[in-house]
């Protein structure tokens, strides 16, 4: 829509009609954007800020099309802290989708330790030098999930100055694509101080809701407790119930179609999840986010959340399931009954579709990426990108929700689970914000709301599908100040 919006102290004070342009006025400046259509600022409710900063500053393998392509890049890569550090490889994009080996890396780089994480962050490819430093005996296979921990413990950590560069690069990219709020997942204690300094100095262009790493009790070891602020809130804890589908770590109720001897990985038992939730509530955390991709993992989390909701203090905590990619029909209804948020990443569906068919088999695809089923059941749904695994663009996510057309395909995939444009926009605005905050001050354009806004070059509610794909962000405002263009 076109509108004239008046802003005072970071809040919307008036919304007036305008037939030709969007006009934004705060106490000191006025911006007029002819033909610009204003929406609430986009919220990415599942992302990794430092991960995106690493992708923007370290060796990226995201677009590598073969094993040899990866090796060629690693062969000539510079080191950071004496290591070659890379990220983003995906064997599903190679002509032969076979997992890489230690020997592959050793033949191109044996002079320094090398580690490269898979696109989903749930697998790590190392050379022998890296494994030796981590105290891991010789092996050929990649490391999956918890097996990566010894290597992470010896990889040189970025300095505070390097973290600041990464955080600024990532959050400026967020503002460029219309994001005004990010739910930052799996946050390390070392990242919070640079983030806090950027927020307090006014240099952070987007709001950040931090979910701290809790899988091995890290937040307790670090002495972290919830803390609030306008641009940085430490609000929740993040746990893992299973791994990723691509590395066959997602925990399924039935065996993998392409690996009948495995069901995936149970990273936390139901009892362990309940214990972690109890500790989180006792410490005052108001949001709990648990990664669960496979249908068995989703069921385990719901079993644990059933216990949480039975506690006298368990009624108000915000309970989230991250990804919820494969959900049994009965568990869709349980998510509604337990008031559990489904935090989904629509672009995962587009990149995962061919791989998901192999992992699950045709007969189980009806339970995969069930967006419309969740909404129809009354489940509260919020959306994100999981960047840097996927690009951070909410517009790409809205397009994925609406068309559900895998990359490189001209056909809709499991089209019954597509959702409307209005619901797709809500999933990236008001619904996403609600998954981490009960104040409901963002996600709509109304007097009294935070002035977090995005201006687009067209009306994405009425434009054609082709125009939707080509929509551009003209400006982004957070707390009433223009953050993009800077």
| Residue 224: per-residue pLDDT | 85
Report d(CA 383, CA 424) in Å as an integer: 8
Buried b / exposed e along 436-469 (16+ C-beta atoms within 10 A): bbeeeebbebeeebbbbbbbbbbebeebeeeebe
Structure-token pair, residue 356? 């998901």
Residue 30 forms beta bridges with which residues? 25
Cβ pair 307, 346 in contact under 8 A: no
In whole angstroms, what is the distance from residue 463 CA to residue 391 CA?
Answer: 23
Confidence of residue 220 (pLDDT cuts 50, 70, 90): confident
pLDDT of residue 166: 95
Answer whether residue 274 shows pLDDT above 80: yes
Walk me through the domains of the chain, giving residue ranges and CATH numbers: 60-152 (3.10.310.70), 159-446 (3.20.20.140)
**Checking DSSP bridges between strand 381-383 and strand 453-456, what pairing results, if any?**
unpaired
Tell me what pLDDT residue 219 has: 84
Residue 367, preceding peptide bond in cis (omega within 30° of 0): no
For 317-331, the pLDDT digits (tens) are: 999 999 999 999 999
Say how far apart CA 74 and CA 94 lie, in whole Å.
16
Q: Pick the range with the lowest mean pLDDT from 252-266, 412-426, 433-447.
A: 433-447
pLDDT score recorded for residue 355: 94
Higher pLDDT, 246 or 311: 311
Tokens describing residue 444:
């709509």
The model's pLDDT over 29-72, given as tens digits with 9 standing for 90+, comes to 999 999 999 999 999 999 999 999 988 988 999 999 999 999 99
DSSP assignment, residue 91? G
For the cut 80, the answer to whether the pLDDT of residue 341 exceeds it is yes
The strand pair at 179-187 and 207-213 is best described as: parallel
Mean pLDDT to the nearest integer, 461-483: 96
Q: Which two tokens stand for residue 293?
A: 């991709």
User: Given a cut of 90, is residue 403 above it in pLDDT?
Assistant: yes
């Amino acid at each position: 829509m076109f509108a004239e919006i008046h802003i005072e102290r970071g809040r919307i004070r008036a919304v007036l009609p305008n037939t030709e342009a969007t006009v934004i006025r705060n106490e000191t400046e006025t911006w007029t954007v002819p033909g610009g259509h204003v929406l609430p600022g986009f919220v990415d409710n599942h992302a990794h800020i430092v991960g995106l900063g690493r992708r923007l500053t370290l060796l990226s393998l995201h677009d590598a099309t073969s094993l040899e392509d990866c090796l060629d890049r690693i062969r000539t890569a510079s080191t950071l802290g004496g290591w070659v550090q890379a990220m983003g490889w995906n064997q599903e994009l190679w002509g032969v989708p076979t997992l890489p080996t230690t020997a592959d890396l050793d033949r191109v780089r044996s002079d320094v330790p090398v580690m490269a994480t898979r696109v989903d962050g749930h697998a790590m490819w190392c050379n022998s030098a890296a494994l030796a430093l981590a105290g891991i005996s010789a092996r050929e296979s990649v490391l999956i999930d918890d097996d990566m921990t010894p290597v992470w413990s010896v990889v040189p950590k970025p300095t505070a100055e390097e973290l600041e560069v990464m955080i600024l690069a990532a959050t400026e990219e967020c503002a460029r694509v219309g994001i005004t709020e990010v739910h930052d997942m799996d946050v390390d204690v070392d990242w919070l101080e640079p983030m806090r300094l950027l927020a307090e100095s006014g240099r952070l262009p987007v709001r950040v809701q931090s979910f701290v790493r809790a899988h091995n009790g890290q937040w307790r070891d670090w002495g972290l407790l919830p803390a609030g602020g306008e641009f940085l809130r430490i609000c929740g804890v993040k746990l893992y119930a299973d791994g990723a589908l691509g590395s066959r770590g997602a925990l399924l109720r039935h065996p993998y179609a392409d690996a009948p001897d495995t069901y995936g990985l149970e990273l936390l038992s139901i009892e362990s999840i309940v214990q972690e939730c109890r500790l989180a509530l006792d410490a005052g955390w108001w949001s709990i986010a648990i990664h669960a991709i496979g249908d068995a993992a989703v069921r385990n989390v719901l079993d644990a959340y059933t216990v949480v909701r039975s506690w006298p203090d368990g009624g108000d905590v915000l309970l989230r399931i991250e990804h919820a990619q494969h959900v049994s029909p009965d568990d869709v209804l349980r998510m509604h009954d337990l008031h559990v948020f489904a935090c989904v990443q629509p672009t995962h569906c587009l990149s995962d579709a061919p791989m998901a068919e192999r992992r699950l088999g045709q007969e189980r695809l009806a339970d995969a990426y069930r967006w419309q089923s969740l909404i129809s059941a009354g489940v509260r749904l919020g959306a994100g990108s999981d960047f840097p695994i996927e690009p951070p663009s909410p517009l790409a996510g809205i397009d994925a929700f609406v068309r559900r057309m895998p990359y490189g395909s001209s056909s809709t995939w499991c089209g019954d689970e597509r959702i409307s444009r209005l619901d797709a926009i809500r999933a990236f605005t008001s619904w996403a914000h609600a998954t981490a905050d009960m104040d409901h001050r963002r996600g709509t354009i109304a007097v009294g709301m935070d002035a977090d806004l995005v201006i687009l070059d067209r009306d994405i509610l009425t434009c054609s599908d082709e125009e939707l794909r080509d929509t551009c962000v003209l400006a982004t405002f957070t707390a009433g100040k223009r953050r993009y263009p800077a």
